[in-house]
Structures are given as C-alpha cells and as structure tokens.
A and B are shown apart, each in its own frame.
Chain A
Amino acid sequence: MTAGLRLRVDPIACDGRGLCAELLPGLIALDDWGFPILCQQDVPDALRGEASAAVRACPRLALHLEPRS
C-alpha cells in the first residue's frame, strides 16, 4: 500500500484563482475572498487523480501534493 498523500497550499504563491476548489470540491473550499481553505489535508486514495489534476491546474503552482510525514 502506497503512502498517504496530503495537500498543502503555498500562501505566498496563491492568488485566489480558485481552480483547485473547482476541481476538488470535497477537499477545498473558498473563503470570503476566494482563497482556498483545506477542509482536510489528507487526500483519500480515491481522489488522488483529481488531486493531481488540481495541482497541475493551479496557474501559480501554489498547490502541492506531499507524502504524509
């Protein structure tokens, strides 16, 4: 079984574009100003593909997928 993954937002790079919340509505919500709130950091295995897509889609490369330490 592969190690779990979790999401991390780089707050300085993030510009509140919102593509991540569109692609991962279960894990990422937007605050009143359009910036992402990680509802949970750990990514369920079933959503790995979507999470990778969200990481690739971020125009500022602000979303990261990392192994759970």
Chain B
Amino acid sequence: MTVASAAAVTGSQGLWFVSRGSGLVLLVLLSAIVVLGAATRAGWAPRRWPRFAVAELHRTLSLFAVALLALHVLTALLDRYVTIGWAATVIPFASPYRRLAVGLGTLAADIGAAVLLTSVLRSRLGYRWWRAVHWLAYLAWPAAFVHALTAGNDLRGGWAAVIGWGSAVVVTVAALPRPGTVRYRTAAPPPAGAQRRVPARQATRR
C-alpha cells in the first residue's frame, strides 16, 4: 500500500466510507430490531428461548444502534465530500445535499430518539403514551430504508442490494398483522389437559 493510498483511506474518503458502511450495518440492525419488536409484541420466541430474551435482545440492539447511529451521523458530517450541515442532524429536510434523502434519514433518527426517550421514561409516562410513540417506529424503518436507497448509491446493486432488499422483505413479513391474534389475548389457551406450571423451588441463597 503506497503512502498516497493510505492517505486517501484515512483522509476525507475514509470518513465517507465509514459513514456508508455503518449506514448499511445500521439498516440491518434496525431491521433486526423491528423484527424482534414485532416478535415481542406477538409473544413469539424461538424454541428454547424464554420470551424475556427476545424482549431484552430488542432493547440491547436498540442501544447498540444508537451508538452506531452516532458514528454514522458524525462521520457523514465531518467528511468534506458532501455538505450536510449540523442542523440537518436533527431537523429533517434541512440538508443542502440530497435534501429528501438525507431528510428521511434525519426523520428516522428523530423518531428513534423519541422512541428511546419514551422507553427510558416508560414507567413515568405510562403505558399509553409509551405505546403511541413506539408505534411510530413502524414509520422510522421505511424512512431509513428509503434514505438508504437514495442518500447513497450503494444499494443499486451487488451484495449490498441483496442485504438491503432482503431486510425489507423480512421486516415486511414480520410486521404483517397476524390473523387470529386480534380479538383474544396473545397468550393462547393451552390444549386441553395441559399441566399447570408449578413454581420452581427457590434456590437457597447465601
């Protein structure tokens, strides 16, 4: 590797690459978060997984996504290849560069911030307000996806397109309302003759 190319990677171009790369990972991560959120709501868990594991993974990945989002936004701001402007990080459609595309990304991030804030304050806000804001997440994902399609050219083809569109399919399937779970509770009655679960013996603690 020559000095010149090393300089190219670590220079402005490097930041741009990190922004794009983190953006793609973020899209996959966000897709996983939405799928896990839908699974939590439906009470679904993979076999042998307790339900709280699905819920906790959803939470944990969300927090990780915040960190990755910070990296994505910061690198996009700092690089000199495109001008986005600090205001556009919070105000949607305020960027001179690809206004609509970047704006959708900002919108998704703003919704994400609202979801995060209400989740942290959930016990104080009460269930209804928390749920109302949380439903906006179903708006955040399409905004992020269109942002990914239009803010850069990466999803035009190749394996990035496969990942991007694959995520879209998975999220759509997960988000579809399931017939039969609407009227009654999400806990389905067990089949006749099912045994009652007895509490496990409490382990003695020192």
Chain A residues near B189 (CB, 8 Å)?
Answer: 32-34
Whether B1 sits at the interface, judged by CB under 8 Å, is: no
Total CB contacts across the A-B interface at under 8 A: 69
Across the interface, which residues of B come within 8 angstroms of A57, CB to CB? 52, 55-56
| Interface membership of A5, Cβ < 8 A | no
Pick the 8 closest A-B CB pairs, nearest first: A16-B187, A34-B187, A26-B202, A22-B50, A25-B200, A19-B52, A29-B199, A61-B127
Q: Does A28 contact B (CB under 8 A)?
A: yes
Say what secondary structure dominates the interface of chain B.
Answer: loop
Q: Given A26-B200, A29-B198, A30-B197, are A35 and B205 neighbors across the interface (CB < 8 Å)?
A: no
Q: State how many residues of chain A have any CB contact under 8 Å with chain B.
A: 28
Looking at the assembled complex, report how far the CB atom of B124 sits from the nearest CB atom of chain A, in whole angstroms. 11
A-B contact pairs, 20 of them (CB 8 A): A15-B186, A17-B43, A17-B51, A19-B51, A21-B197, A22-B51, A25-B200, A26-B203, A27-B199, A28-B199, A29-B199, A30-B197, A32-B196, A33-B190, A34-B185, A39-B199, A44-B202, A57-B52, A59-B41, A61-B122
A46 CB-CB contact with B under 8 Å: yes
Distance in angstroms from B183 CB to nearest chain A CB is 13
User: Contact at B55–A19, with CB atoms within 8 Å?
Assistant: yes
Take A15-B187, A22-B50 as given contacts and tell me if A29 and B197 are in contact as well, using a CB distance cutoff of 8 Å.
yes
Is B12 interfacial (CB 8 A cutoff)? no
